[in-house]
Amino acid sequence: MIQWLADNAARVAQLAGLHATLALAATVIGLLLAVVVGSLVARRPRISGVLLTASGVLFTIPSLTLFIFIPLIIGTQILDPQNIVIALTVYTFALLFGGVIEALHSVPEETMQASAAMGMGPVRRLFQIELPMAIPVIAANLRVAAVSNVSLVSVGALIGVGGLGDLFTEGFQRSYLVPIVWGIIFTVVLALLVDLVVVVLERLATPWVRAGEAR
Domain ranges in the chain are: 2-207
Q: Are the CB atoms for 27 and 92 separated by under 8 Å?
A: yes
CA 210 distance to own-chain centroid: 25
Predicted local confidence at residue 9, as pLDDT = 93
Element containing residue 124 per DSSP (H, E): helix 122-125
Instruction: Output the pLDDT for position 213.
Output: 56
CATH top-level class for 2-207?
Answer: mainly alpha
How far is it, in rounded angstroms, from Cα 25 to Cα 149?
10
What is the residue-level pLDDT of the chain in tens, covering all 215 positions?
888 899 899 999 999 999 999 999 999 999 999 999 999 998 888 888 888 898 888 888 888 788 888 888 887 777 788 889 999 999 999 999 998 998 888 887 787 778 877 878 778 888 888 888 889 999 999 999 999 999 999 988 878 787 999 999 999 988 899 999 999 999 999 999 999 999 999 999 888 766 555 55
Question: Residue 160: helix, strand or coil by DSSP?
Answer: coil
Distance CA 134, CA 116 (A): 18
